[in-house]
Amino acid sequence: MAVPKRKQSKSRTDKRFANYQATNPTLVECPHCHQLTPAHRVCAKCGYYDKKEVIPQDAKKD
């Protein structure tokens, strides 16, 4: 089992995470209603996914 011989300094540990940045989610345009939605998700406005209606409009209003 590998065990470090010396304690790693705080600055060395912090350097590992210096370039970590959160990114914005990828948004694509819905081909049916043209609203921006996350990729590979059902559109929240019209209920379509892959050119098919997944969530009927009357059921969505409940």
Question: For each of the chain's 62 residues, which pLDDT tens digit applies?
Answer: 889 899 999 999 999 899 888 899 999 999 999 999 999 999 989 999 988 888 887 765 65
- Report how far residue 50's alpha carbon sits from residue 59's, in angstroms, rounded to the nearest whole number: 19
Asked if residue 45 belongs to a domain, the reply is: yes
Asked if residue 16 belongs to a domain, the reply is: no
Asked if residue 39 belongs to a domain, the reply is: yes
- Whether the full predicted model's pTM is greater than 0.85, yes or no, is no
Asked if residue 33 belongs to a domain, the reply is: yes
Asked if residue 32 belongs to a domain, the reply is: yes
* Sequence-distant (≥ 6) Cβ neighbours of residue 32 within 8 angstroms: 43, 46, 48, 51
pLDDT tens per residue, range 30-42? 999 999 999 999 9
Classify 29 as helix, strand or coil: strand
Q: What is the span of the domain harbouring residue 45?
A: 24-62
Asked if residue 6 belongs to a domain, the reply is: no
